[in-house]
Amino acid sequence: MGSFSIWHWLVVLVVVLLVFGTKRLRNIGEDLGSAIKGFRKGMNDADAESGKPAARLGDDKDALSPEQRAARDAARERDVPPRD
């Protein structure tokens, strides 16, 4: 009762085809595919322009100035949270 059989999925497919029609479903599929391709191309272009992979969470070590890094390291040694 918890899982659907192949017949349930076929009935759902027929109902979706009757409601939306094949032309509209094909257009939706084409639009979704081109959007995904554009997104991937944009991500690859951004990586190629920078010459290095995109930054990840926690990779902000280079964003700190030497003074900020020294203050952070000193605070860690004293077990005091650093001020922003």
Give the model confidence (pLDDT) of 59-75 as tens digits: 555 577 788 888 888 88
Is pLDDT above 90 for 31? yes
* Angstrom distance (rounded) from CA 60 to CA 72: 13
- Assess contact for 71 and 81: CB atoms under 8 A: no
Phi, psi of 6, deg, nearest 5: -60, -30
What's the pTM value of the predicted model, to 2 decimals?
A: 0.41
Question: What mean pLDDT, rounded, does the chain reach?
Answer: 80
Domain boundaries, the chain: 6-78
Alpha-carbon gap, residue 44 to 50, rounded angstroms: 10
